[in-house]
Structure 1
Amino acid sequence: MNKTKKVIFDAAIKSFSKKGYHKSTMDEIAEAAGVAKGTLYYHFKSKEDIFKFIIDEGIKMIKEELYDKTKHLDDPTDKLRKVCEVQLKLVITYLPFFKTVLSQMWGDEDRQTHLREVLKKYFVLLEGYLLEAADESFINKNNIEIIAFNFFGVMTSTVVYNITHKDIDIEEVLDNLVEFLMRGIGKK
């Protein structure tokens, strides 16, 4: 992502997170990014284009981070732990991005449909990690698709916990989360 698009990306996330999609304006995004309105329109035709861009780029960054942090691991449970760690840390680090994602999950507008399609691709990635663990008999193979969605949901609710409990040890939360997830989807 080039430098201009990066500052627009960051400014749009802040605006969408703080004011919501509908109340954010192209003028505000341009001002927050420190670019001329013409520059904003040079890169994006509309606010909806900006939204789709931040979703595509944000999920791409998450996927790349997951790949980078798991590519050297052989044990499927180590990979699942790392997936939990990466998701949790990214959600905490990029909370405005995730607030934007969660706020736009519902609805039938083009950007919302686009968001759900991008997230489905991310869930397929999660399914791959879960299937690998299932193939090694670390977890049950039943309902892997639903488990991937639940895996993400548990991570999201953990972030809510983190927001309401400011003085927590992320590593302790991570250990508890991984134990909970592995018991919840593990073999009996």
Structure 2
Amino acid sequence: MNKTKKLIFDASIKSFSQKGFHKSTMDEIADMAGVAKGTLYYHFKSKEDIFKFIIDEGVKRIEDEINEKTKNMLDPVNKLRAVCEIQMQLAINHLEFFKTMLSQLWGDEERQHQLRNVLSRYFKLIEGFLKEAADDGLIADDNLEIMAFNFFGVMTSTVVYSLIHKEKDISQLTETLLGFVMRGIGR
């Protein structure tokens, strides 16, 4: 991502997180990014375009980091542990991105459909790790697609817990979460 797009990426996340998607304006995003309005429109034709960009880039970063960390791992539980650690750390460190993403899950507008499609791709990554664990007999294989969504939900609610309780020990949160998930879906 070039420098200008990175500035717009950060500014739009901040604006969407603070004001919501509908109340944010292209003028404010340009202002926050420190770029001319024309520069903003050169890169993006609308707020919808910007939203699509930040979701695509944000989720891609998570997927890339998970793939990089897990590429040499053999144990599926360690892969799930890596998913937890990475997602929770990124959620805590980039809370505005996660707030923006989660706030736009519901609705029937194009951006909400696009967000759900991008997240579905991420859930497939999680589902793949769950399948490996099921193939090794470590978890039940009843409905891995739903389990992937539930896994994401448990991670997200653990982040909420960490924010409320100001708990930043990602390793401890991960072990607690993984223990809960494995006992809940384990054999």
Query: What's the TM-score once normalised by structure 1's chain length?
Result: 0.97
**Residue of structure 1 in register with 2:138 after alignment:** 138
**Residue of structure 2 in register with 1:156 after alignment:** 156
**Residue of structure 1 in register with 2:6 after alignment:** 6
Q: What number of residue pairs does the alignment pair up?
A: 187
Q: Give % identity.
A: 67
**Residue of structure 2 in register with 1:64 after alignment:** 64
Following superposition, the deviation at residue 181 of structure 1 comes to 1.1
Moved more, 57-66 or 172-181: 172-181
Query: CA contact under 8 A between 2:7 and 2:33: conserved in structure 1?
Result: yes
Write the deviation string for residues 72-96 of structure 1: whole angstroms up to 9, x where unpaired. Answer: 2111111111111111111111111
Distance 2:63 2:149 in 1: 15
Q: Which amino acid aligns with 1:62?
A: I
Write the deviation string for residues 141-185 of structure 1: whole angstroms up to 9, x where unpaired. Answer: 111000000000001101110110114533221211111111111
**Residue of structure 2 in register with 1:51 after alignment:** 51
Distance 1:50 1:85 in 2: 28
Instruction: Could you tell me which runs of 5 or more consecutive residues in structure 1 were left unpaired when the two chains were aligned.
Output: none
1:178 maps to 2:181: no
Moved more, 161-170 or 115-124: 161-170
Q: Give the CA RMSD over aligned residues.
A: 0.9
Instruction: Could you tell me which runs of 5 or more consecutive residues in structure 2 were left unpaired when the two chains were aligned.
Output: none
Query: What's the TM-score once normalised by structure 2's chain length?
Result: 0.97
Q: Which amino acid aligns with 1:49?
A: D
* Aligned positions of 1:29-178 closer than 5 A: 29-178=29-178
Q: Which runs of 4+ in 1 moved over 3 A?
A: none
**Residue of structure 1 in register with 2:15 after alignment:** 15
